[in-house]
Structure 1
Amino acid sequence: MKRIKYIWGLFVMLCFLQACYDDNSKLADQPIIEVNILPTAKDSINIYFNNTLEIKADIESETEDLTYQWDMGLYSEDPKTGESATVFKNISQEKDLSYVVRDLGHYHLRQVVTSEDGSTIKYYHIFVNSQFEEGFTILGRRPDGKGCISFMKTLTPEEIEAGMTPSFMQNAYVYANEGEELYMDPVEISKVGDFLYILHGESQKLVQIDAKTFKRRFEYDFKYYKSDFVPNRMISYDGRFSREFEVISKNGGVALVQTQQQAIFPFADLPKETVYTDGYDRPSWKNSVTRVFVSKERNAVCWSGANGYDPFFSYQNCFGYFQNRYVLKIFQNESSDGNDVFVVNKSGGQTVITGVKAMMYNFAGGGGLWVLFERPVREGIITEDSQILPNDYYTCAFVSNGNKIYKWFYSQLDIDATPFITLPEGEEVRGLNHYQCSRNVSDAEYQDYSRQKQFYVSTYNPNREGEYKGSLYIYDADTGELVNKYEGISYEPVSMFYKIK
């Protein structure tokens, strides 16, 4: 009985204490601090690499006591669930994001805003593209002698719709490599597969850069190959299976650069009795590329890839045909059995053009050089400074002399005395080129020469005002009409081409 009274008394006391208790607890009856990330920024963002990704956070919350986190990683999906399997890395803990993107790719960006009651998350897709994807590439020489790249991107339909206009970026290599500069005495730039190769003469360097980002990947030093090897010409082609190419020294000698081994070897296939100091190359749908080498005295010419199957005949010194002559210029066309070679040379004081059959060896004639034709050329137009660009669509060649360009139907006619194009006064032609396919495409696509309906001219005007004295002109190859011009956009051009993807 006493126990029952005791328990009852304890119950009454507890009720009394509860009545006196002031409840200040934060339980379910208190409001939770909500945080909303408003959809001000797009969920999908395109940006060029090396540019700054900026997102101004638009946060809706009743408190400012918040923490922020931005995480990013290459986008990937779980093959089983199809959900994101991205590995994230923290890139900022600021409210607003400001982050320089350095690499190409499709990235997943995660924005996390946290209050004391939990976190709110938003995801973005970031597409980091290249401003060097495709377009005009000019290797120039600065006043201090160093190399420099000017590049103008061909805009996509989306970029045009967004209001962008094409323009040249100077110092593109410096921009892509965070201030690093190229070497002295640039002489040539060429695309081989996924890379661009920039050749330097007196510096004896060959710099390999990524073709899409222009970032430096590797460097070859010819001083360690041969101390007096001073590069002046690169013979290469842009193809899926291109693993090696030749480099010629102005002091004599040909080296073989092997890109897989990243090493330089002697090119041992040429006749040993002749020293070669110059060369010419041209991609071919049949043989990938033909290579022409010119001797130091410029009186011997030989080439490989001429018939595509027998190097014995390919590497003859034209059987002494040019022994008492002086070779000025060489160019090639496309033919069904390889690239025929056309040699502009001085013979007895007269400038002549000698057309040589691609197979080179004349079986039907009992041996020796297979000469297609030889005839005089109008004097005073083709010089050692001239540029010659063969055009297979119109079966002609464009020849430069000072600020003039001539259209030459070389297989039948002499050069017309009237220039096809006259550039503005003071402009000096430094390069001729046109659209060139990669050898990665089909033969039918490669032989679609309709892309050669336009051709490109890089020029230098030492008297032009301003820092950049190089220009680019684009002409209709049929009519000579000016299609477009970009003046004062580069340093002195030494090599120019249209870079494809």
Structure 2
Amino acid sequence: MNRIKYIWGILIVLCCLQACYDDNSRLADQPIIEVNILPTAKDSINIYFNNTLEIKADIESETDELTYQWDMGLYAEDPKTGESTTVFKNISQEKDLSYVVRELGHYHLRQIVTSEDGSTIKYYHVFVNSQFEEGFMILGRRPDGKGSISFMKTLTPEEVEAGMQPSFMQNAFAYANEGKELYMDPVDVDKVGNYLYILHGESQKLVQIDAKTFKEIYEYDFKFYELNFVPGRLMAYDGKFSTEFEVVSRNGGVAMVQTQQQAIFPFPGLPQETVYTDAYDRPSYTSSMTRVFISKDRDAVCWSGANGYDPFFSYQNCFDYFKNRKVIKLFQNLDDDVYVISRDGGQTKITGIKGMMYNFAGGGGLWVLFERSVREGIVTESSQLLPNDYYSCVFVSNGNKVYKWFYSQLDIDATPFITLPEGEEVRCLNHYQCSRSVSDAEYQDYSRQKQFYISTYNPNREGEYKGSLYIYDADSGELVNKYEGISYEPVSMFYKIK
């Protein structure tokens, strides 16, 4: 019996020795597989949305048996400890990262490389910015009649230092909306707060897009308001209290768009005996925005101020003053006085009208400040007019020429202030315009108007894009910059602020 016990003891010891001999486990004398993530990208990355975030991973390791993971989430941190509380979402399991970023914001990116012995982690801060933050915007009409946006971002000092050059991006709306295009017959565009509103005529659409990303937010359809309502003019101002604005129909009538209710209503303030088919509007210090409506027969105007919808004080017609005339163009100065240019028989005349229009002091009637003939052949129906508050003048286009007309002058100079290259047709005039939401002092700093912008169209220009942008000094008329062949046929142009 003792011999049997002895034999069993020897067998157990031999089995244990065999087990130790065959064991391939990692003991203290076996090296741990180390994984190092070598730097191939900066810890802080700036990128435009809808662009591809690419990082080529450079991994230092003794084995190729590695797994990879990339996670990203909006950056958040604990306000007390300062530690990251980002909620991560897996975006890739490839070694190299290639990921299209779709949303703006500050993101935390996590790179994880795992071996059988553990994981190595590296973090990045990713700032997704907009290439549409601030800059020149041109709403154009393509040869097929559809709308298209060309945009050139104003570069930040960091972007300039990095060697970037300003350039126009064409088809910006389609780029931001995964290929979707604007509608037929674009006619106008305005910035209101954080949004842009793009108006279409024959398509009867008003498209609301995010002003930073150009992503579509909402569509208004005027067919559901009135079947024959064909939009021709959008009147809105950029301010935090701007929640409703007017749209004039080419067929006659004025509608009011209320953005809070996302609805279209009849505009209540105008005299009902006249049909209006056109209008003029401009930003105003005293009333945020002023409007002057033009009748279907172009023989009557009606001015509106900021006195609510009282038809007597807020909307005054011209008391048949322009009957048997044809209103060609009009504009307003800094004091909201109205300058009407009309054809009276064989003469072109300018009529200066006090902003209130109604002559209380004179016992009634239209408050006419002056009326006189002007030089023939310069102001036409296709002319573009741009009042300049800093120099107290108005710029007037005719073909490829721009004239500078001071309010103190009795007539327009016969010599053009600016002559653009042969073949260019002026389609839009504009200058820098700040938001009405800024302080009064900042808003009244009209020195921003020392430069003005001219958008032109040249049907004979080679290439797909026949629209150009020229920037001029408003005092000397010297060319500051030019960008030629950068848009489709311009419909509306302005400098979009943040």
Shorter-chain TM-score above 0.5:
yes
How does 1:392-471 map onto structure 2 within 5 Å? 392-471=389-468
Match of 1:355 in 2: 352
How does 1:296-445 map onto structure 2 within 5 Å? 296-305=296-305, 311-335=311-335, 339-445=336-442
Match of 1:143 in 2: 143
Match of 1:159 in 2: 159
SS at match of 1:320: coil
Distance (Å, rounded) in 2 between the aligned partners of 1:107 and 1:82: 16
Distance (Å, rounded) in 2 between the aligned partners of 1:436 and 1:32: 64
Q: CA RMSD in A?
A: 2.0
Distance (Å, rounded) in 1 between the aligned partners of 2:6 and 2:371: 130
Does the 8 A contact of 2:316 with 2:358 survive in 1?
Answer: no
Matched, 1:479 2:469: no
Deviations 1:124-165 (A, max 9, x none): 110000001111100111111111111111110000000011
How does 1:26-425 map onto structure 2 within 5 Å? 26=25, 27-305=27-305, 311-335=311-335, 339-425=336-422
SS at match of 1:188: strand
Does the 8 A contact of 1:32 with 1:117 survive in 2?
Answer: yes
Distance (Å, rounded) in 1 between the aligned partners of 2:442 and 2:50: 34
Does the 8 A contact of 2:431 with 2:495 survive in 1?
Answer: yes
Does the 8 A contact of 2:268 with 2:309 survive in 1?
Answer: no
Gaps in structure 2 of 5+ consecutive residues:
none
Distance (Å, rounded) in 1 between the aligned partners of 2:231 and 2:95: 53
SS at match of 2:298: coil
- Amino acid in structure 2 at the alignment position of 1:362: N
Distance (Å, rounded) in 2 between the aligned partners of 1:296 and 1:19: 107
Q: How far 1:13 sits from its partner (Å)?
A: 7.8
Q: How many residues align?
A: 496
Does the 8 A contact of 1:256 with 1:266 survive in 2?
Answer: yes
Match of 2:497 in 1: 500
Distance (Å, rounded) in 2 between the aligned partners of 1:19 and 1:186: 87
Q: How far 1:10 sits from its partner (Å)?
A: 8.6
SS at match of 2:223: coil
SS at match of 1:450: helix
Distance (Å, rounded) in 1 between the aligned partners of 2:172 and 2:332: 32
Does the 8 A contact of 2:385 with 2:394 survive in 1?
Answer: yes
SS at match of 1:445: helix
SS at match of 1:319: coil
Q: How far 1:412 sits from its partner (Å)?
A: 3.3
Identity over aligned residues, as a percent? 81
Does the 8 A contact of 1:314 with 1:360 survive in 2?
Answer: no
- For residues 308 and 19 of structure 1, do their structure 2 counterparts lie closer, same or farther at Cα, with a shift above 3 Å needed? closer
Gaps in structure 1 of 5+ consecutive residues:
none
Deviations 1:7-63 (A, max 9, x none): 999988877776675263423332111111112211110000010000011111111
- Amino acid in structure 2 at the alignment position of 1:24: D
Distance (Å, rounded) in 2 between the aligned partners of 1:487 and 1:369: 45
Does the 8 A contact of 1:396 with 1:408 survive in 2?
Answer: yes
Does the 8 A contact of 1:307 with 1:358 survive in 2?
Answer: no
Distance (Å, rounded) in 1 between the aligned partners of 2:307 and 2:444: 18
Does the 8 A contact of 1:393 with 1:450 survive in 2?
Answer: yes
SS at match of 1:223: helix
Distance (Å, rounded) in 1 between the aligned partners of 2:313 and 2:374: 28
Does the 8 A contact of 2:67 with 2:113 survive in 1?
Answer: yes
Moved more, 440-449 or 28-37: 28-37
Match of 1:22 in 2: 21
- For residues 391 and 321 of structure 1, do their structure 2 counterparts lie closer, same or farther at Cα, with a shift above 3 Å needed? same
SS at match of 2:69: strand
Does the 8 A contact of 2:140 with 2:490 survive in 1?
Answer: yes
- Amino acid in structure 1 at the alignment position of 2:195: F
Does the 8 A contact of 1:302 with 1:314 survive in 2?
Answer: no
Does the 8 A contact of 2:389 with 2:449 survive in 1?
Answer: yes
Q: How far 1:355 sits from its partner (Å)?
A: 1.2
Deviations 1:198-245 (A, max 9, x none): 111111111111111111111111111101000000011010111010
- Amino acid in structure 2 at the alignment position of 1:134: E
SS at match of 2:124: strand
Does the 8 A contact of 1:69 with 1:113 survive in 2?
Answer: yes
Q: TM-score, normalised by structure 2?
A: 0.96
Distance (Å, rounded) in 2 between the aligned partners of 1:46 and 1:439: 31
Distance (Å, rounded) in 2 between the aligned partners of 1:458 and 1:13: 98
Does the 8 A contact of 1:305 with 1:311 survive in 2?
Answer: no
- Amino acid in structure 1 at the alignment position of 2:433: Q
Moved more, 77-86 or 303-312: 303-312
Distance (Å, rounded) in 1 between the aligned partners of 2:473 and 2:128: 35
SS at match of 1:313: coil
